[in-house]
Amino acid sequence: MSIFKNFNIADWFSFYRIAAVPFLLALIYWNQREIFTWLLLVSYSTDAIDGFLARSLKITSARGSQLDSYGDQVTLIVGLIGLINFETNFMKENYVLILIAFVPYILQMIIAFRKYGKATAFHTYLAKLSAVTQGVFILWLLFFGPVYWLFYIMIILGVLETIEEIILIFLYDKWVEGVKGIYWALKDKRRLNIE
């Protein structure tokens, strides 16, 4: 149990999102849409909480940033699986736009793993805005039904955020965390290997 003593409270919120995935998948399997949606809301809420705690308590770390990224990714994936199961018609009707956003995301993940051996944890402003929009759209769709203008904004932000992540991967030779965006990356001395 000593391996867990070095984790802070913000890390535990990220662990929650990762640990919740099997339960969420089980709820999808058992076709429990309402319970799934409420627990997915809890998972999305912990994403906001862990970042707020890490910044407020000044306990940010590379490990915490990586955990947060993994938590974000698995929550998005389980949310999409939920949509495929519970909103099949919507997903079929809009699969082209969904692929337009999702395929570049997979490409970005492949580039990151080839270059760094792990996922990025830039947490740019655009990534945060995109994640909030995704969460709001997915939850709104599951609770109330589709809102197309929000869907289109989510797709556009997702594509822009993915493009930004790919550019950042090429700007940084080594894995870094907490980059606010391209503008800040270009000013970042770490990118230029100047200490």
Q: What is the pLDDT of residues 136-169, one digit of tens each?
A: 999 999 999 999 999 999 999 999 999 999 999 9
| 158 or 1: which leads in pLDDT | 158
- pLDDT at res. 60: 78
Contact 88, 34 (CB under 8 A): no
Is pLDDT larger for residue 36 or for residue 188? 36
Of the candidates 146, 40, 137, 33, which has an alpha carbon nearest to the alpha carbon of residue 86?
A: 33
Residue, of 102 and 62, whose pLDDT is higher: 102
Predicted local confidence at residue 191, as pLDDT: 58
Query: Which own/partner contact pairs does 40-46 have at CB distance under 8 Å and 24+ positions apart?
Result: 40/75, 40/78, 40/79, 40/82, 40/138, 40/139, 40/142, 41/139, 43/16, 43/17, 43/71, 43/75, 43/78, 44/75, 44/135, 44/139, 46/13, 46/14, 46/16, 46/17, 46/71
Report which of residues 9 and 177 the model is more confident about. Answer: 177
pLDDT confidence bin for 194, thresholds 50/70/90: very low
Using CA atoms, how far apart are residues 155 and 158, in angstroms rounded to an integer?
5
How many other C-beta atoms are found inside a 10 Å radius of the C-beta of residue 45? 13
Q: Report the pLDDT value the prediction gives residue 195, as an integer from 0 to 100.
A: 44
Work out the average pLDDT over 169-175: 93
Element (H, E) at 36: helix 33-56
Tens of pLDDT, residue by residue over 5-39, are 677 888 888 899 999 999 999 999 999 999 999 99
Q: What is the dihedral of CA 188, 189, 191, 195, to 10 degrees?
A: -150
The pLDDT value recorded for residue 189 is 66
Please tell me the pTM assigned to this model: 0.90
Short-list 20, 10, 63, 67, CA closest to 42 = 20
Which token pair is 43? Answer: 């998972």
pLDDT tens digits for 51-89? 777 778 878 777 788 888 899 999 999 999 999 999 999
State mean pLDDT over 185-192: 74
Is the predicted pLDDT of residue 1 greater than 80, yes or no? no
For residue 10, give the nearest of 66, 62, 68 by alpha carbon.
Answer: 68
What is the per-residue pLDDT for 19? 96
